[in-house]
Structure 1
Amino acid sequence: MLAKLGMSSAIAEIADGKLQIEPGDKDVLFIDSDLNVTVETGGAEPSRCLPVIGIVGVEAPSRLRSLMQLGATATLRKPVHRAAVYSALFVGINEFRRRRYLADRLEQHERRRLLRKSLVKAVLVVMQRTGADHSAAYDLLRRESMRSRQSIEDFCETFIQANGPELDEPETTVGTTKTYAKKP
């Protein structure tokens, strides 16, 4: 059936209960849950490298769990019928793409969340230098980031690195009023 779909297949060598796969080397991994092997992909999770389709003979919870830990996005039941291969490939590849898209988005949002600290520092620097309120300072930074075709977080990170967080450091405190001195 794989040949009719324009795919070629190869049987991987298993050494010491481990299957070595280089990312980008293959397009889809079919793995038999009855073999009880671990998959090594050179640092990346198998579920991040390629779609994994599990071939299930015995539906023991431990074997199903090991398939889920490998990132199986579809399954085929033994004995494998030709008609089930296409639908398993369709579901497995599309689910892999969906998971990959969501994981990439999550990483992007996490990266932007970590850069929010630079955004706050940049707003404070602009407020101090221009005397503007926080809304006007944010709008100024947003306009400049759009002009430079960067996200506001990336722009503020670059802004802080280039200009330094030249916020005044507290020098003395008088009651509840703080006196600030400019950094040299």
Structure 2
Amino acid sequence: MGIRWHHLTGDEALPPLTPCAVLVELEAFASPLTLSQINLAGIPVIALTSHEGLYQVQRALELGATALLTKPITQRAIYTTLMMAVGLRQQLHDIQQQQMLLRQRLAAMPQITQALAAQMQAESIDEQQAWVRLRSESMCTNQSVAQVAQKWLLRMSSGKRGAQ
């Protein structure tokens, strides 16, 4: 199957080849530094435990595990758990990317509002017309609304400086 493994005995650097997942034995493993490196690298963590109690589930979640594997281990359980861990880690990554994009859009809103207000005042138009112009220029130039708003503000501020 070509699976590589590396036994971590304590806090140490990750192996040079990135594994597809990391198996952490809950009862024996207590290495927060290594786990933080693993989670930052986006490697799925599978928690291994001898019994599936509430405490073990909570500990697995604290360690950043995306799946739980109970002993005795079967081949079917390993494959299913691995696929679940990889899939959930990918979903988590996608959600984090989407969240970052939404944060950027939210951060740009004051600038967009300022550009719309400046356009409304300069052209004596209402908010609806200003939005239409902003979106139209955004689509024509294949730029985001935030980029066009920033360009408008720069253009208007340089125009004011030139008039003075």
TM-score, structure 1 as length reference:
0.73
- Residues 24 and 49, structure 1, Cα contact 8 Å, conserved in 2: no
**Counterpart of 1:124 in 2: which secondary structure?**
helix
Could you tell me which residue of structure 1 aligns to residue 43 of structure 2?
50
Aligned pairs, how many? 162
Q: Does 1:27 align with 2:20?
A: yes
Could you tell me which residue of structure 1 aligns to residue 115 of structure 2?
122
Deviations 1:59-111 (A, max 9, x none): 45444323102221111112322221110011111111111111211121121
Paired letter, 2:7: I
Which structure has more RCO (C-alpha within 8 Å, separation ≥ 6)? Answer: 2
Could you tell me which residue of structure 1 aligns to residue 85 of structure 2?
92
Could you tell me which residue of structure 2 aligns to residue 144 of structure 1?
137
- Residues 67 and 85, structure 2, Cα contact 8 Å, conserved in 1: yes
Note the aligned Cα RMSD (angstroms): 3.1
- Residues 23 and 49, structure 1, Cα contact 8 Å, conserved in 2: no
Match of 1:8 among 4, 8, 13: 4
CA–CA separation in structure 2 for the residues paired with 1:59 and 1:105: 33
Distance verdict in 2 for CA 1:113–1:43, change over 3 Å? farther
Unpaired stretches in structure 1, ≥5 consecutive residues: 168-182
CA–CA separation in structure 1 for the residues paired with 2:41 and 2:140: 35
**Counterpart of 1:76 in 2: which secondary structure?**
strand
Q: Percent identity?
A: 19
Query: Shift in Å at residue 153 of structure 1?
Result: 2.2
CA–CA separation in structure 1 for the residues paired with 2:34 and 2:148: 35
| Greater mean deviation of Cα atoms: 67-76 or 114-123 | 67-76
Unpaired stretches in structure 2, ≥5 consecutive residues: none
Structure ranking higher in strand proportion? 1
Query: Shift in Å at residue 151 of structure 1?
Result: 2.0
Q: Does 1:156 align with 2:149?
A: yes
Distance verdict in 2 for CA 1:37–1:84, change over 3 Å? same
Structure ranking higher in helix proportion? 2
Deviations 1:91-148 (A, max 9, x none): 1111111111112111211211111111100101111221111111111111111222
